[in-house]
Amino acid sequence: MTKALQWGGRFSAPPDAALLAFGSSLDDDLVLAPFDVQTSQAHVAALAGGKIIDAPTASALHAALTKVAAEIEAAQFGAFAQTSGAEDVHGAIDARVRELAPEAGALLHAGRSRNDQVATTLALYAHERALQGAQRARSIARHLLSRASEELDAQTLLAATTHMQPAQPVLLAFWLQAAAEPFVRAARRFTAAAAFAKEACPLGSGAVAGSTLSLDRAAACTRLGFDHPSRNAMDAIGTRDAVLDVAQACARVLADASRVAAEIVLWATPGFGYVRLGDASSTGSSLMPQKRNPDVFELVRGCASEVAGLYFGALTSTVGMPLSYHRDLQETKRLGILACERTLAALDAFERALRDTSFNRGAMNAHAGDGYTVATDIADALIAAGVSARDAHALVGATVRAAEEAGRPLDTNDLAALAREAGLNAFNAPLDAAASVSAKVTEGSTSPQAVRAGLASMATELELP
């Protein structure tokens, strides 16, 4: 048996090398190395607190683990792990500790199973990645908030769409606020996932039933910053809720990012010309010299689908699995880690590209009224004058049809004609995009006052931890 394996005494022949390689997760879980060291340090505290090891042994183990942590930080540990013969990063760290402190290292795994070791390490990883996800979501929201404030001052107008058809005029600041809101919610989801990951500490649960050794679980729990030890060993070693919660938050935030990215890709086309992508975040064509491609935003769209699949795969790998630990959970771990790492990279790229994107205010203002986007305001004005909603809708719809056939915009003559048809002396209604925006009165609308209030509220929320 290879010395790096943490089992083998009951076997008379070594494992098939190909099957051992098939079961190895080293390529996937090296990212867990610093968190495994934290888990192992806490286990030493539990062993020492329970008088299972003496102070010199605990000191030797802490020193060896500190050395391993330094090697991980210096990117030196990976080479050892890959050649150690260990099945996973957890076994590789155990092997390195036994190499650094042979006598003490032989006691490191006392009372511990890879089951509770992996569960605890994954919870620590999930907590850290959730905090990073929250930070990146807030950073994106703050950037969008800053841009919204600039465009609010400039009073930049935009033809908002539904079904990708012109709908109503809005402030560009309103669109930017709408783009920021999902990232504020994403930050809340990540923060909640981080808190959940640190609720119950699995360490000390052993393989499935706890331990007959007097492990000081409270000491381990305190060292790692968990709220309390887990209360059922069988559940603790068999759940991956912490990493699944973070992976779900990852899938959600990238779905949100993909929607913003899709609109920017569209706006960058010559048909719109609403945005210009900076040189630092654009790519060219190997054949067509004129191309300026929005590759980063397209890749973010692709990543959203990828991470959604990773999350679904991680979740469904637990479906139908009996209670306790099963090796299928290695797939949950792998897919959850991939979802987290891919998401953090995509969010970083998304924000960098956003910061390198400029708005064409002139083009947006020029087209804010295209497609008869003030039609709803005219219908609302008729309703305010006493016309029923159904009649107002029909009257304005017919007026738009006539103007469209004539190839002209709506004007004051149309308002006069509508008044006559509705039996009114006269009525006032916005006929341009700026007037439409200013006419809004409801909370949460696109009026400058409502947008300013919304941005202030968002800024206050983003200041919270």
What residues are labeled active site?
Answer: 163, 285
User: What is the DSSP secondary-structure string of 164-188?
Assistant: TEEEEEEEHHHHHHHHHHHHHHHHH
Q: What is the distance, to the nearest Å, from the Cα of residue 50 to the centroid of all Cα atoms in its chain?
A: 40
Amino acid at 134: A
The single-letter code of the amino acid at 450 is A
Measured between its terminal Cα atoms, the distance across the chain in Å is 50
**Mind giving me the DSSP string for 191-209?**
HHHHHHHTTEE-TT-TTTT
Cβ-Cβ contacts under 8 Å for 352 (sequence gap 6 or more): 280, 281, 296
Dihedral of the CA atoms 262, 250, 175, 355 (nearest 10)? -80
CB burial string 323-342: b at 16+ within 10 A, e below: eebeeebbbbbbbbbbbbeb
Q: Is the dihedral of CA 179, 185, 188, 193 positive or negative?
A: negative
What is the residue whose two structure tokens read 């609010």? Answer: 152
Residues 133-152 as b/e (b if ≥16 CB within 10 A, e otherwise) read bbebbbbbbbbbbebbbebb
State whether the Cα torsion 256-261-264-269 is positive or negative: negative
Closest CA to 234 of 317, 332, 119: 119
Calpha distance 310→30 (Å, rounded): 18
Q: For residue 156, with 0-12 CB atoms within 10 Å meaning exposed, 13-18 middle and 19 or more buried, which class applies? A: buried
DSSP H/E element including 290: none
Give the 3-state DSSP-derived string for 291-334, with helices as H, strands as E and coil as C: CCECHHHHHHHHHHHHHHHHHHHHHHCCCCCCCCCCCCHHHHHH
Residue partners of 266: CB distance under 8 A and separation at least 6: 164, 272
- Helix (H, G, I), strand (E, B), or coil: what is residue 96? helix
Count Cα neighbours of 268 within 13 Å in the Cβ-side half-sphere.
24
Which element (helix H / strand E) includes 161?
strand 157-162
